[in-house]
Amino acid sequence: MHFFSMRVTRKNAVTLTLIVVMVGGMIYSVGSLFFGNKAVKVTVIMETSMGTIELELDSEKAPVTVANFVEYALDGHFDDTVFHRVIPGFMIQGGSLTSNGAEKSTRDPIVLESNNGLRNVRGAIAMARTSVPDSATSQFFISLVDNPFLDYSAGNDGYAVFGRVVEGLDVVDAIAGVRTSSRGPYDDWPVQDVVIQEVTVVDR
pLDDT digits (tens, 9 = 90+) for 128-177: 999 999 999 999 999 999 999 999 999 999 999 999 999 999 999 999 99
- Rounded Cα–Cα distance for residues 114 and 156 (Å): 10
Q: Could you count the other beta carbons within 10 Å of the beta carbon of residue 198? A: 15
pLDDT digits (tens, 9 = 90+) for 5-29: 334 444 444 444 443 334 334 444 4
Q: Is 138 helix (H, G, I), strand (E, B) or coil?
A: coil
Residue 196 CB contacts under 8 Å (≥ 6 apart), including other chains: 46, 47, 48, 78, 79, 80, 81, 82, 83, 94, 95
State the pLDDT confidence band at 203, using cuts at 50, 70 and 90: low
Residues 49/197, Cβ–Cβ less than 8 Å: yes
Q: What letters, b where the CB count within 10 A reaches 16 and e where it falls short, cover 131-155?
A: eeeeebbbbbbbbbeebeebbbeee
Residue 159 CB contacts under 8 Å (≥ 6 apart), including other chains: 114, 120, 126, 127, 128, 129, 141, 150, 151
Instruction: Answer whether residue 106 shows pLDDT above 70.
Output: yes
Residue 75 CB contacts under 8 Å (≥ 6 apart), including other chains: none
pLDDT digits (tens, 9 = 90+) for 171-196: 999 999 999 999 999 999 999 999 99
Please tell me the predicted confidence (pLDDT) of residue 114: 98
**Domains, the chain:** 10-202 (2.40.100.10)
Please tell me the predicted confidence (pLDDT) of residue 102: 95
pTM: 0.81
